[in-house]
Structure 1
Amino acid sequence: MEEEAKRMVRVSKRNLRLWRRKWLGWRRFVFMQEMHMLAIKTLKTTEGILASITKAHPQWKQLVSAVDHRVDRALAILRPQAIAEHRALLTSLGWPPPLSAFTSSNSDASTVNQVPNPLLSMQTDLKLRYSENFFALCNLQELQRKRKVRQLEGHDREVALRQPLWVIEELVNPLSLASQRHFSKWIDKPEFIFTLVYKITRDFVDSMDELLQPLVDEAMLLGYSCREEWISAMVTSLTTYMAKEIFPSYISQLDEESATGTQSSARISWLHLIDLMIAFDKRIKSLVENSGVLLSFDDDDIMQKISSLAIFCDRPDWLDLWAEIELDDALDKLKLDIQNENYWVKKVEGAVLSSYTDDYKSPLISNSFLRHLASVIDRCRSLPRVSLRSKFLRSVGLPIIRNFFDSILIRCQEAEGLTALTDDDAVLKVTISVNAAHYFESVIKEWSEDVFFLEMGMGEDDEAGMKSNANIYEALPESSRRVIFDDEIKKLEEFRTEWVEKISLVILRGFDALSRDYMKNKKQWQKDEEGWTVSKALVEALNYLQSKTSVVEVGLNGRDFVGVWRSLAAGIDRLLYNGILMSNVKFHRSGVDRFGNDLDVLFGVFGSWCLRPEGFFPKTSEGQKLLKLDKNEAEECKVGGKKWLKENGLRHLSVTEAEKILKNRVFTS
């Protein structure tokens, strides 16, 4: 009994000492907290006086500077003390929480459990201590912010206004250090790193709203969202680790691959890492969106805070390396498609990557290039700054378009070099390339209507104005509506125009060669050709014209085929007008009828593609109308001149030309 009594006395004394130690610790904390709050209150009052003096007496700069110097010395002592107190309090709360729940024995971070949150399990007294300490630190930061705003008057004050929230940094820093012990085991398995960071961010983010945001609001720390600051700080800690450990490791692997000249998995690993970063950023963005917090994701500053790809903002050389790897990977895959003849023969089924319903008869190769380009654009969208997106797209997207252009150009040149496009197969080969160019051009034109691309074509001064105007595209002058693909679109348009013109020219030359005897035979217009509704010398040329245009019509898309037959019509109009009507040929009545029959057959060839084909042969058809005039009408035309021509709908012939045609008309009694 005596031993038991002694033991109970010892226990009671020990409990008393522990209680007294806690009580003294509490008293010390309360005392220090009161001292900190008193110091902060005094400094706030001082800052208010300095602000009023600065406005009322700007000439007292030396006095204000001297006081600022003393306040800075006080803050240099106060802030470390306040942060040290805050860190000690966090440690007593059990922060950071153990991360063992995030990792299993096989280091597989893909299966994790919920991590206990010490902030939500605080007892009443600890919660009060934490709240007071949190409030003091927020007040101190707000004081610092106000001082910076005053001191930077007339300069870029955004630096002062957008400093990270100290209390959130103090939560993230120890958590980040604890996480890095796991990260070091996963350098070759970065997916585990992203999974761990995301789950920590997600599991603790609600407590930022529930527990900490009211304290920030009470401290009147304006413009801060604890949720946003928490997410931003976690992403920043991840990018910092990646910049120090992961990227240097991957770059050393790439250097080894380059030195040995062998293909290894280094480039694949790099692209896989980028895929993980993009997927992580999308999940983080979704985490912010699902919270009900309204953020403008068009704001580059906000995007940079919550994007792991912000690592490229400080390392543009890494962005160049990524662009190089991305481009090489795309071109390697496209090279196989270019060499596969099936990709040039088979057609795209429907508008896969475009809302246009036109049938461009495009080969699969154009879709292959567009898919790779769309993939590059999609990855580019994840970059947090317009300048980075523009640089990446110019480094990867534009070379892909140029590679496409070179591919179709080479095929056209090969076809032209073999047969000068006189062979149907060569013509069809060119039509395939023209179809591919037109479809490709239409798709990137449609994409270019997105503001995403418009931003890249604007200068920095325009970008600022653009963010404040949702309808900026309509408000901009035409000259300012340049987009990143403009030069490539222009090259594709010129390519189509050039090769459509070449197809037309080849057919026109063939028609000219076969109709040469028809043009030279001047006596045929002075006699009848019995048994023929069309001149025999023109039959072969018309058959050639119809045959060739049919081949082109089958192979070429509808829009470009319009250009072919219209160009042909204009060329034949010039041939007939200059070769017959302007060549001093004498037309008798029978010759006029014969010429009219020939034109009817010619117009019939073009009648399949338009309602009034004679409208596309303006000079020839108007010359024929003059030849049909009787003697009296011809005299009226000569007397009436320009007025008569206009009144009778002859608008493409000058008075001189009309007189020459009528002069060649022979009237017999």
Structure 2
Amino acid sequence: MKEDSRCPLGSRYCAILNAVNYISTVLSDWADNVFFLQLQQAAVSLGDDVWGPLGATEAGRLASLEGSLFEGLLGLLERLRADMLGRLLEAVMREVREKAQPYSRDRWLSLPSQLDQATMSLSSSACPLMLCLRDRLLQLQQLLCLPLFQSFWQSLAERLDQFLYQDVILYNHFNEGGAAQLQFDMTRNLFPLFGHYCKRPENLFKHIKEACIILSLNIGSALLLRDVLQQAEEESVTPDPQRPSPESTLNELGVFRLAPCDVHILLSLRASWPGQ
């Protein structure tokens, strides 16, 4: 087991994880089985001869059927399952961070405008990242049982959303072409990778999706939004009830997760402002 833990992407590691999940599922079912409930009641009636010196609270929980015969073992298995899934997720994220390095250093500030391109295509620097994600998702879909794989890809999407938002988007500045390219890479390539597992994959990547909305606003809308945020900041002590709140303005744009302060930072990452 210790040797297998050093290679969490291997088939043996995944087989052990599947076994842990299976045993946990079976014991959870047994905990509600009439036979084991009767056995539990009989064991409680025998008292210390079976359980040893249990505390009054624990004995009372077992007697009232709040606890189960397998509670301790289930807790141990759940911790093991969570730890193994965490190791698996971290192994994939290490690969993702490595493959994403060229993408995070791309020329976002000097990419050609969308109007200057006949057709848009995936950034060449994003190809290793997308291939890594595709291959790992396909591999683990085959190696893990369905409940474990569902838990894995949901956690992976959450980690990816945070990672790409913080290490790619907030790390760079974007001109109009860079913002359009980022949006294309995310909405037409990253999100569809998870579209095999859910109907609305964009909802898994709310930070990325909303950041793309802000970065891709036309200059007029961006100026108006910046003014709204600045006025709200200046009037934070005595807000004007006649003015729309920053939150309502952002909601109209489709931004619900990001706070006004986050949007203000994103606006500062735009390179195309009048007079610049």
State the TM-score, normalizing by the size of structure 1.
0.33
Larger Rg: 1
Where does residue 499 of structure 1 map in the other structure?
A: 84
Cα deviation, residue 454, structure 1: 3.4
Where does residue 454 of structure 1 map in the other structure?
A: 37
8 Å Cα contact 1:525/1:595 also seen in 2: no
Q: Cα–Cα, structure 1 residues 587 and 524, in superposed 2: closer, same or farther, change >3 Å?
A: closer
Aligned counterparts of 2:161 and 2:82: Cα–Cα separation in 1: 20
Task: Tell me if 1:437 matches 2:20.
Answer: yes
Q: Deviations over 1:496-523 (max 9, x none)?
A: 22212211211111011011121123x3
Any unmatched runs of 5+ in structure 1? 1-409, 463-475
Superposed, 1:157-196 pairs within 5 Å as: none
8 Å Cα contact 2:108/2:179 also seen in 1: no
Where does residue 99 of structure 2 map in the other structure?
A: 514
Superposed, 1:230-379 pairs within 5 Å as: none
The code of the aligned residue for 1:612 comes to R
8 Å Cα contact 1:445/1:489 also seen in 2: yes
Superposed, 1:37-116 pairs within 5 Å as: none
Where does residue 216 of structure 2 map in the other structure?
A: 628
Q: Deviations over 1:129-149 (max 9, x none)?
A: xxxxxxxxxxxxxxxxxxxxx
Q: Deviations over 1:554-581 (max 9, x none)?
A: 0101111011111111111111111122
Any unmatched runs of 5+ in structure 2? 48-60, 229-244
Aligned with 1:486 (options 46, 65, 71) = 71
Aligned counterparts of 1:486 and 1:525: Cα–Cα separation in 2: 56
The structure, 1 or 2, with the larger RCO (C-alpha pairs under 8 Å, 6+ apart) is 2
How many percent of aligned residue pairs carry the same amino acid? 22
Aligned residues: 236
Superposed, 1:536-547 pairs within 5 Å as: 536-547=124-135
Where does residue 205 of structure 2 map in the other structure?
A: 617
Aligned counterparts of 1:528 and 1:606: Cα–Cα separation in 2: 28
8 Å Cα contact 1:454/1:481 also seen in 2: no
Cα deviation, residue 587, structure 1: 1.5
Aligned counterparts of 2:73 and 2:100: Cα–Cα separation in 1: 40
CA RMSD of aligned residues (A): 2.7
8 Å Cα contact 1:525/1:586 also seen in 2: yes
Where does residue 524 of structure 1 map in the other structure?
A: 108
Cα deviation, residue 666, structure 1: 2.8
| Structure (1 or 2) with the greater helix fraction | 1
Aligned with 2:192 (options 588, 604, 611) = 604
8 Å Cα contact 2:108/2:175 also seen in 1: no
- Which deviates the most, 655-664 or 630-639? 630-639
Task: Tell me if 1:655 matches 2:260.
Answer: yes
Where does residue 665 of structure 1 map in the other structure?
A: 270
8 Å Cα contact 1:431/1:556 also seen in 2: yes
Q: Cα–Cα, structure 1 residues 525 and 535, in superposed 2: closer, same or farther, change >3 Å?
A: farther
8 Å Cα contact 1:519/1:579 also seen in 2: yes
Aligned with 1:594 (options 181, 190, 193) = 181
State the TM-score, normalizing by the size of structure 2.
0.77
Task: Tell me if 1:642 matches 2:250.
Answer: no
8 Å Cα contact 1:527/1:588 also seen in 2: yes
Aligned counterparts of 1:532 and 1:502: Cα–Cα separation in 2: 37
